[in-house]
């Protein structure tokens, strides 16, 4: 074992503990910090696994109240063994350094996801809501109130799982407290997401977490929390006195029942909210059955999470990006087709803007994609969710086709797979294969505005590639009322370029 760069106690008083050895843990780098603790990525040497390592701030170690609260967090979270709650591995103290070693979740928090992506569709929103509600139900069953539910404390994994983190403000009633550990001179929580009773300093029960979660859901679905202001006080007053803007007026595409559920969570009086997270779960399950009609999804692909370990590219991703740049440059240089600038611009935007997520999974390069597809068969998975996740990881035509072949009755996932196949054909300029797929998706369900917009946009782009400019222009007219429902940034840009190309080709000659 390497010799620590410094003793834990001495390092703890400095600005950064990176490189220190604290017990069985080597601290690799700092991930972030909160009011009470610094958080590091660490390696547990004995088990050779990575963990999130929380260290109580050095200036707080002399305050017994903070030490008790820090231990309380570990006790509360460690008692909650659940797939949707970040798990505690160990709590301890080494040379005066108080720490909690917990599950390291590779991905990103919901706040960062909201900032980087468009508003989610119904299946993804329901997946987040169901999983967080399940975590809150587990906590409530143990008498635990989280007290700080917000997007920053909801983590999205690469596989589509959702985990609730940071029980640092959790209240766990016990008979031997002797001190109210959740009140250390201030009202705790985050003003943007506080319940009215939390703002007023009244006693709390699990319904307070449901209010905070309602605010979080509103933020997820609209891109902004219902109440904002210049100061924490102004936001807090709105939680007490102001009603949020009706969700349906911001997201007209959402089911009325979902809007009702979220506004019920946001009721000022706890008596008017769901009386438990289990009640909320029941309503979500019924809503899912009514709207989507398939089995309840444990996870969904497409979160496109970017964790701290994804800053560097693996060999396949690097090959794909190099290939994309080479393909773009080659098409532009050769001028093989008059519409080449359209697809070149799409690829250039993907690479330069980090928008390779337009293809939802990995773009399939001539080199890497073919090698993956040829080298590995696509086995049937135990569930459609696992089959879809496998397809997202492989990113090949065969993998996505396996979703359709193995689970033809799973309508949502079949449509998802067909979208990915259409995108792959478009990227590889197999327009004859792409066009009928885009047409099928556009006509599949006229009431599904997002799917219809996707299908019409794809048709228009392909038809422009095929120099069928008048037909493409007709499709774009059908797309116009659905422009707001076209959520793919690069596809939107491709549609604009197609419209420009159509106009230049259809325009009557001058003079």
Residue 275 lies in a domain: yes
Per-residue pLDDT at 191:
79
- Give the three-class secondary structure for 427: helix
As a whole number, mean pLDDT of residues 348-368 equals 33
For the cut 70, the answer to whether the pLDDT of residue 181 exceeds it is no
- Record the tokens describing residue 218, joined without a space: 């509103």
List the single range of 35-39, 194-198, 338-342 with lowest mean pLDDT: 338-342
With cut-offs at 50, 70 and 90, classify the pLDDT of residue 81. confident
With cut-offs at 50, 70 and 90, classify the pLDDT of residue 408. confident
For the cut 70, the answer to whether the pLDDT of residue 35 exceeds it is no
Residues 252 and 343 in one domain: no
Residues 350 and 378 in one domain: yes
What are φ and ψ of residue 420, in 5° steps?
-70, -40
Residue 305 lies in a domain: no
148 is catalytic: yes
Return the exposure string of 8-24: e unless at least 16 CB atoms fall within 10 Å of the residue's CB, then b: beebbeeeebbebbbbb
Residues 316 and 392 in one domain: yes
Residue 183 lies in a domain: no
Residue 303 lies in a domain: no
Among 50, 68, 103, identify where a domain stops: 103
Among 68, 86, 103, identify where a domain stops: 103
Task: Using CA atoms of 93, 96, 100, 104 in order, give the dihedral in degrees to the nearest 10.
Answer: -120
For the cut 50, the answer to whether the pLDDT of residue 88 exceeds it is yes
For the cut 80, the answer to whether the pLDDT of residue 336 exceeds it is no
Quote the CA–CA distance of 395 and 302 in Å, as a whole number: 12
Provide the CA 434 distance to its chain's centre, in angstroms.
28
Distances (CA, A) of 458 to 142, 333, 438, 472: 51, 25, 6, 10
Per-residue pLDDT at 15:
56
For the cut 80, the answer to whether the pLDDT of residue 347 exceeds it is no
Q: Which tops the pLDDT comparison, 355 or 508?
A: 508
List the single range of 127-131, 340-344, 360-364, 503-507 with lowest mean pLDDT: 360-364
Q: Which tops the pLDDT comparison, 387 or 348?
A: 387
Per-residue pLDDT at 295:
54
Provide the CA 253 distance to its chain's centre, in angstroms.
20
The strand pairing partners of 21, in sequence order, are: 26
The pLDDT mean for the chain works out to: 75
Residues 257 and 374 in one domain: no
As a whole number, mean pLDDT of residues 122-138 equals 92
Q: What is the DSSP secondary-structure string of 288-313? A: HHHHT-SPPPS--S------GGGSS-
Q: Which tops the pLDDT comparison, 387 or 274?
A: 274
Residues 364 and 334 in one domain: yes
Q: Which range scores top for mean pLDDT: 21-25, 359-363, 364-368? A: 21-25
3-state SS of 165-226 is CCCCCCECCCCCCCCCCCCCCCCCCCHHHCCHHHHCCCCCCHHHHHHHHHHHHHHHHHCCCC
Quote the CA–CA distance of 436 and 388 in Å, as a whole number: 22
Residues 123 and 89 in one domain: no
CB neighbourhood size of 154 (10 A): 24
Per-residue pLDDT at 163:
92
Report the domain count for the chain.
Answer: 3
Q: Which tops the pLDDT comparison, 3 or 427?
A: 427
Residue 185 lies in a domain: no
Residue 296 lies in a domain: no
Among 83, 103, 123, identify where a domain stops: 103
Contact 412, 440 (CB under 8 A): no
Residues 384 and 487 in one domain: yes
Residues 137 and 270 in one domain: yes
With cut-offs at 50, 70 and 90, classify the pLDDT of residue 186. very low
- Record the tokens describing residue 168, joined without a space: 């640092």
> Of 148, 209, 327, 488, which one is the catalytic site residue?
148
Measure CA of the first residue to CA of the last residue in the chain; give whole Å: 83
Per-residue pLDDT at 19:
87
Residue 384 lies in a domain: yes
For the cut 80, the answer to whether the pLDDT of residue 140 exceeds it is yes
Place of tokens 């398939």: 294
What share of the chain in percent tops pLDDT 90?
A: 29
Q: Which tops the pLDDT comparison, 230 or 11?
A: 230
For the cut 60, the answer to whether the pLDDT of residue 503 exceeds it is yes
Per-residue pLDDT at 374:
38
Phi and psi based region of residue 189 (left: phi greater than 0; alpha: psi -120 to 50; beta: remaining)? left
With cut-offs at 50, 70 and 90, classify the pLDDT of residue 185. very low
Residues 159 and 66 in one domain: no
Residues 95 and 112 in one domain: no
pTM over 0.85, yes/no? no
Per-residue pLDDT at 14:
43
Quote the CA–CA distance of 168 and 182 in Å, as a whole number: 9
- 270-324: pLDDT as tens digits: 999 999 999 999 999 999 888 887 555 544 544 554 433 333 223 333 323 323 3
Contact 393, 159 (CB under 8 A): no
List the single range of 28-37, 268-277, 326-335 with lowest mean pLDDT: 326-335
With cut-offs at 50, 70 and 90, classify the pLDDT of residue 331. very low
Domain that holds residue 283: 107-175+190-291
Per-residue pLDDT at 359:
32
Look up the CATH number of the domain holding residue 279.
Answer: 1.10.510.10
Q: What is the DSSP secondary-structure string of 453-499? A: HHHHHHHHHHHHHTT-HHHHHHHHHHHGGGGGG---HHHHHHHHHHH
Q: Which tops the pLDDT comparison, 314 or 389?
A: 389
List the single range of 49-58, 121-130, 316-325, 487-496 with lowest mean pLDDT: 316-325
Look up the CATH number of the domain holding residue 33.
Answer: 3.30.200.20
Residue 246 lies in a domain: yes
Q: What is the DSSP letter of 118?
A: P
Residues 78 and 154 in one domain: no
Per-residue pLDDT at 420:
86
Residues 81 and 125 in one domain: no
Return the exposure string of 292-301: e unless at least 16 CB atoms fall within 10 Å of the residue's CB, then b: eebeebebbb
């Amino acid at each position: 074992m390497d010799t620590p760069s410094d003793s834990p106690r001495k390092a703890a008083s400095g600005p950064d503990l990176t490189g220190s050895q604290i017990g069985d843990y080597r601290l690799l780098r700092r991930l972030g910090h909160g009011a009470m603790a610094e958080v590091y990525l660490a390696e547990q040497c004995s088990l050779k696994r990575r963990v999130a390592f929380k260290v109580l701030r050095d200036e707080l170690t002399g305050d017994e109240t903070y030490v008790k609260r820090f231990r309380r967090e570990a006790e509360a979270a460690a008692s909650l063994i659940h797939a949707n709650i970040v798990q505690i591995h160990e709590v301890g103290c080494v040379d005066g350094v108080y720490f909690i070693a917990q599950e390291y979740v590779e991905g990103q928090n919901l706040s960062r996801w909201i900032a980087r992506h468009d508003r989610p569709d119904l299946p993804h929103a329901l997946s987040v809501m169901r999983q967080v509600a399940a975590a809150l139900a587990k906590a409530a069953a143990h008498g635990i109130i989280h007290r700080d539910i917000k997007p920053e404390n909801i983590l999205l994994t690469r596989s589509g799982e959702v985990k609730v983190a940071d029980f640092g403000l959790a209240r766990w009633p016990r008979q031997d407290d002797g001190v109210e550990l959740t009140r250390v001179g201030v009202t705790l929580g985050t003003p943007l997401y506080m319940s009215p009773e939390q703002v007023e300093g009244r006693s709390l029960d699990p319904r307070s977490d449901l209010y905070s979660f309602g605010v979080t859901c509103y933020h997820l679905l609209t891109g902004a929390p219902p109440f904002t202001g210049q100061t924490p006080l102004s936001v807090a007053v709105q939680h007490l006195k102001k009603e949020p803007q009706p969700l349906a007026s911001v997201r007209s595409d959402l089911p009325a029942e979902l809007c009702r559920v979220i506004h019920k969570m946001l009721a000022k009086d706890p008596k008017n909210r769901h009386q438990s997270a289990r009640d909320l779960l029941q309503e979500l399950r019924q809503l899912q059955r009514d709207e989507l009609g398939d089995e309840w999804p444990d996870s969904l692909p497409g979160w496109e999470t970017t964790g701290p370990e994804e800053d560097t590219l693996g060999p396949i991703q690097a090959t794909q990006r190099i290939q994309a740049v080479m393909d773009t440059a080659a098409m532009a240089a050769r001028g093989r087709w008059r519409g080449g600038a359209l697809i070149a611009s799409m690829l250039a935007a993907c690479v330069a803007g980090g928008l390779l997520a337009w293809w939802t999974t990995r773009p399939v390069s001539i080199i890497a994609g073919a090698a993956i597809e040829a080298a590995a068969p696509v086995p049937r998975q135990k569930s459609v969710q696992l089959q879809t996740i496998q397809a997202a990881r492989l990113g090949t035509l065969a993998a996505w086709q396996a979703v359709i072949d193995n689970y033809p009755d799973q309508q949502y996932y079949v449509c998802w797979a067909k979208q990915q196949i259409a995108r792959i054909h478009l990227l590889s300029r197999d327009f004859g294969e792409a066009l009928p797929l885009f047409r099928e998706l556009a006509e599949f369900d006229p009431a599904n505005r997002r799917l219809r917009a996707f299908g019409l946009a794809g048709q228009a782009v392909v038809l422009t590639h095929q120099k069928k400019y008048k037909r493409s222009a007709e499709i774009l007219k059908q797309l116009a009322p659905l422009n707001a429902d076209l959520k793919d940034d690069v596809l939107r840009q491709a549609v604009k370029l197609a419209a420009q190309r159509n106009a230049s080709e259809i325009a009557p000659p001058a003079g």
